[in-house]
Amino acid sequence: MSDKTIIELSNVYLKTDRGHEVFKDLNLKLLSGESAIIYGAAGSGKSTLIELLVGRRFADAGSVELFGSLMQKNKKRIIKSVRRKTGGIGGLFTLVPSYTVSENITLPLVLSGERKKVQKERLMKMLTEFSLLKQASVYPDKLTRVENTLVQFARANVAHQPLILIDEPLAGLDLKTYDRIYEYMSKLAVSGLSLVIVSSEELKNKLPNTSSYHLINGSLA
């Protein structure tokens, strides 16, 4: 695998505990700075794919590599390293209920051991950029759905992680917020980061520097 390859899935096969086939011959390669959006119907395996990429699930056959490292159940140090390089929005990546908005946003910086001064500077930038200054000390259960989504985007961007996984980013949003989130994802897609977006519905417009795939019958087309 090239040093510039962020993700490489090779002939991945996965079935559920009940024997249901989720993936068969699943292949995907994503270079640094490239992004992918993966469409699929409910039950097609979109969220399971995200679980594979963060080491929550493991392939029965084939290989899953991130940042040049093979994701395997017994490789806890590698999984931890991959997760620190990966931001997430939606699905698995819910906010911590007992943390305020500010604490949720700075969590990736805390985990990476970033200095307090840097944490404060980046937090203020994110709170300002996402219009969340008034919500800084609020807990997630007091946020609207739109505010919750914005906090997740702020948290995913605060630590400059090279890979961001986004699960159904635009579902249920009003038109104004949809356009705002779409514009922000467009900026991320040309920023040098890599995005993997899974979605049930096609976006209204194509994201720049982003390849589109259809997850159907356990494979990408």
Residue 213 lies in a domain: yes
Asked if the model's pLDDT at residue 168 lies above 80, the reply is yes
pLDDT digits (tens, 9 = 90+) for 128-158: 999 999 999 999 999 998 899 899 999 999 9
pLDDT at 204: 82
Is 121 among the domain residues?
A: no
119 found inside a domain: no
Rounded mean pLDDT, 3-7: 86
Question: Does the model's pTM come out above 0.95?
Answer: no
Whether 218 maps to a domain, the answer reads yes
Whichever domain contains 30, its CATH number is: 3.40.50.300
- Is residue 37 included in any domain, yes or no? yes
Domain residue limits at 70: 1-85+198-221
Tell whether the model's pLDDT for residue 3 goes beyond 70: no
Can you give the three-state secondary structure of the chain, one letter per residue? CCCCEEEEEEEEEEECCCCCEEEEEEEEEEECCCEEEEECCCCCCHHHHHHHHCCCCCCCEEEEEECCEECCCCCHHHHHHHHHCEEEEECCECCCCCCCHHHHHHHHHHHCCCCHHHHHHHHHHHHHHCCCHHHCCCCHHHCCHHHHHHHHHHHHHHCCCCEEEEECCCCCCCHHHHHHHHHHHHHHHCCCCEEEEEECCCCCCCCCCEEEEEEECCEEC
Decide if 53 is inside a domain: yes
